[in-house]
Structure 1
Amino acid sequence: MNYSPKFPVQWVQFMVMILSIASTGIAAGRTDIPRLSPTRGIIMEDPDLLSSAAVSDDLQTLYYPQTLDHFNYQPQSYATFQQRYVMNFKYWGGANNNAPILAYLGAEAPLDSSLAAIGFLNDNAVNFNALLVYIEHRYYGKSIPFGSREEAFKNASTLGYFNSAQAIADYAEIIMHIKNKLRAFYSPVIVVGGSYGGMLASWLRLKYPHVALGALASSAPILYFDKITPRGAYFSVVTKDFREASESCYQTIRNSWSVIDKIASQPDGLSTLSMIFKTCKPLNKSSELKNALENMYASAAQYDMPPRYPVNVVCRGIDGANENQDILSKIFAGVVAYRGNHSCYINPPTNESETTVGWRWQTCSEMVIPIGIGNRTMFQPELFDLNSFIQQCKSLYGVPPRPHWVTSYYGGHDIKLILQRFGSNIIFSNGLRDPYSRGGVLENISESILAVKTVNGSHCLDILAQNASDPEWLVKQRQTEVKIIRGWIAQYYADLKAILLKQ
């Protein structure tokens, strides 16, 4: 089963644009934004998960004729597309009992991966007597406007409807449709999302409080915009994770970059590096290797989940190498430990997934998360270059990103001052080993906008399926979240009863 449709046309277009950027001399600092995803870590650990995971017979797949543009009244705005959502009625107490609805908000991927990996809803459905709903994000999976993926991704005119505000309105419309269809008018809805989907969950609660009673926003870096969070915070946490795992591992990584640069500057140096790291094709520049290593260390930290703990895996590989080996051989041993045995490791041939293509547009339009690398990390300093980023996006799509739009539309600056008397019923959960946690809400904002954090947690770990081997701190984190949600629902029922008695 293939959950990553390929994009040969877009890939060719992208490469042509990148070559154009290179020829114009654009790009000085860092312009890459590390991927957000609630399920990427578990899929990297178990690549066969999607093909091997049994899809429950209790799941019903449906499609809703979704409005293309919720915010305009031009004729073209009334066009519709089929948006996929999935429901599970197995444990629902029914509309007559006003039984709750748990709604998972899809992120930047087809819904299939979430059905296989996100377990929070199913694990708690029986205790809440809840109806489960999973909604796919527009422009991903089977929820494609304009009749085909090729047409939808054709240019900025068709991609212009691909943004978070439209997505949240989609979710609100589908949830209201479900409640109306089932006559579940008084069933409270709790929306759940992770990573980018966690941002959407919190924003939906703030924008549509009549639709969702509360939100669980797991690993949602809503403050990593517009200089609210220091740009170097992400890689500072990556460094911290590795240093806590092993001081010698940290020092080896820290010292390796200058060695790579020194070898690369020599005649046939790139060939030497290609041989040391068993690259899948010869390196054209040292940055290919360095970017691959940076991304490996970042992914290991972001998804540093039990029982494997990838940061420890990398460091065991590096520290376990023969002490007489040179520094790059030790680094390569860490790569092999993390990736497993393969014929080659760096720059493998790949076809871009729809998530890669979609996320590129999202970061080039509104999700401008300015992540750079500061001076006090195990990496070479590389500031986020907003001007170069804007130019790259304009070269790709013909339109510039809006780096300040997220904070204009959803807020973020002075969040405690603003939300403590406005918002309610949001859980911001974070694991502090996740580099994106530095852009999350880590302190309580009010009595009902709460931060639930764990020192040892990683990205979206709390909303993945529970496992018998889960550490006690993770079990307690989930129990805390369930207790909070149960309190929201109990208060809602009490308020509902009081209102109905007055009628």
Structure 2
Amino acid sequence: MSLSLLSSMREREKEKDGLEQCQIKEYFKVVSDDLRSHSDECLLAVKQGSAQVETLLKHIVGQRTLSKIFRLCDPVEKTVDNPLDVSNLFETLAGNFAGVAQYNKDNRIGKSSKSANITIDTLCDIMTNQTIGPQVRRLAAVNDLLLNAYDQECLDYKYNTMIDAMRNVSWDSEVSEGGRQWTYQTCTEFGFFQTSTYKPQIFGDRFPIDFFVQQCTDIFGARYNMTFLNKAIERTNTLYGALNIEVSNVVFVQGSVDPWHALGITKTINQGAPAIYIKGTAHCANMYPRSAKDLPQLKAARVEIQQLIGSWLDL
């Protein structure tokens, strides 16, 4: 074997390893588990609905149907040849479920009254309601619910529209509230892209890691490519210790419903860095105001966290 061929193979292996460390494949696995917690029927309906979207995209009548039932701002029949637009459509439809799962039954102050009561159960009740029609129609009904909750007239799935919005650096832009900052961190520190790579995938496979790295280069510049990202992730893991982090007086809190817990520390590292895993709760549930509906394990976790921090502060 020639040295050039051997070097090329090594580079491909390094790139493959880089692809693995850039993404959190388990994110949508947890979303799937969350839907299954309602019923296997819900999980299957979402999978079948996603497959029906793929089928409808293959012909003009189906494309027009998708444009209508999903209230697309731009007819998909005019953009179907753009793979980035199609990827963004699938990622957006999957995000309808991911966003609700991540913040399921939270108690955030200031949360819109229209979206406050939308939970995993709400979405699954729609997805298992056969009177709505085939599964793709039920996906569209979920989409309708969320568009209305956030006062949006149509679903804007165009890739370039998203990129233009993310490039906006003005303080009064929508992305200035955290979207651009978070994206910059993912592109320069740790990846954490929520890809469609996990198998079996119920939302299709249209938004793999390349889709997200493309966003990095399109938003921030050509240097923010896969090579740059791999080096950035290696640096971050070296600085902070990855999952072997050496810290004390830190409590790691995770909720079983939160898709991000798949990436978190759920087992105690040492006596000075305990982990608390709260079954049945979603993202940052312990940090939101108390509610009469709080689960007993959430109430207990808050007490434990308070006692830990109090002991560290010697209160």
TM-score, with normalisation over the residues of structure 1?
A: 0.47
Amino acid at match of 2:186: T
Q: List gaps (5 residues or longer) in structure 2.
A: 1-17, 81-85, 108-116, 166-172
Partner of 2:53: 260
Which of 216, 220, 236 is the matching residue for 1:393?
A: 216
Superposed CA deviations along residues 219-272 of structure 1, whole A, max 9, x for unmatched, are xxxxxx995798421111000000111221111110112211111111243221
Report if aligned partners of 2:100, 2:119 keep a CA contact under 8 Å in 1: yes
Partner of 2:236: 406
Superposed CA deviations along residues 2-56 of structure 1, whole A, max 9, x for unmatched, are xxxxxxxxxxxxxxxxxxxxxxxxxxxxxxxxxxxxxxxxxxxxxxxxxxxxxxx
Superposed CA deviations along residues 298-349 of structure 1, whole A, max 9, x for unmatched, are 11111112573621111112223506x1222122222234444667342188
2: CA distance, partners of 1:332 / 1:241: 20
2: CA distance, partners of 1:377 / 1:393: 24
Report if aligned partners of 1:314, 1:335 keep a CA contact under 8 Å in 2: no
Closer, same or farther in 2 for the Cα pair 1:263/1:382, shift >3 Å?
A: closer
Matched, 1:425 2:225: no
Partner of 2:201: 377
Matched, 1:332 2:106: no
Superposed CA deviations along residues 49-89 of structure 1, whole A, max 9, x for unmatched, are xxxxxxxxxxxxxxxxxxxxxxxxxxxxxxxxxxxxxxxxx
Equivalent positions of 1:22-61 (< 5 A) are none
Matched, 1:274 2:91: no
Amino acid at match of 1:234: Y
Q: List gaps (5 residues or longer) in structure 1.
A: 1-224, 494-503
Closer, same or farther in 2 for the Cα pair 1:229/1:368, shift >3 Å?
A: closer
Partner of 1:295: 95
Report if aligned partners of 2:87, 2:206 keep a CA contact under 8 Å in 1: no
Matched, 1:353 2:161: no
Partner of 1:319: 128
SS at match of 1:257: helix
Equivalent positions of 1:95-114 (< 5 A) are none
1: CA distance, partners of 2:215 / 2:87: 18
The number of residues matched between the two structures is 259
1: CA distance, partners of 2:152 / 2:239: 48
SS at match of 2:254: strand
2: CA distance, partners of 1:257 / 1:332: 11
Closer, same or farther in 2 for the Cα pair 1:383/1:336, shift >3 Å?
A: closer
2: CA distance, partners of 1:481 / 1:441: 15
1: CA distance, partners of 2:312 / 2:122: 40
Amino acid at match of 2:235: W
2: CA distance, partners of 1:363 / 1:480: 32
Which of 442, 449, 452 is the matching residue for 2:266?
A: 442
Report if aligned partners of 2:255, 2:277 keep a CA contact under 8 Å in 1: yes
2: CA distance, partners of 1:463 / 1:456: 15
SS at match of 1:298: helix
1: CA distance, partners of 2:123 / 2:36: 12
- Deviation (angstroms), 1:462: 0.8
Amino acid at match of 2:59: Q
Amino acid at match of 2:97: Y
RCO higher in 1 or 2 (8 Å CA, sep ≥ 6)?
A: 2
2: CA distance, partners of 1:394 / 1:466: 42
Superposed CA deviations along residues 414-451 of structure 1, whole A, max 9, x for unmatched, are x1xx63xxx21110001011000011110011112000
Amino acid at match of 1:443: K
1: CA distance, partners of 2:66 / 2:214: 31
Report if aligned partners of 2:27, 2:262 keep a CA contact under 8 Å in 1: yes
1: CA distance, partners of 2:294 / 2:262: 24
Larger radius of gyration: 1
1: CA distance, partners of 2:47 / 2:305: 38
Closer, same or farther in 2 for the Cα pair 1:273/1:382, shift >3 Å?
A: closer
Sequence identity, in percent? 22
More strand per residue: 1
Matched, 1:473 2:297: yes
Amino acid at match of 2:179: T
Partner of 1:177: none
Closer, same or farther in 2 for the Cα pair 1:408/1:447, shift >3 Å?
A: same
Amino acid at match of 2:175: S
Amino acid at match of 2:57: A
Partner of 1:59: none
Report if aligned partners of 2:70, 2:144 keep a CA contact under 8 Å in 1: no
Amino acid at match of 1:241: D
1: CA distance, partners of 2:60 / 2:118: 39
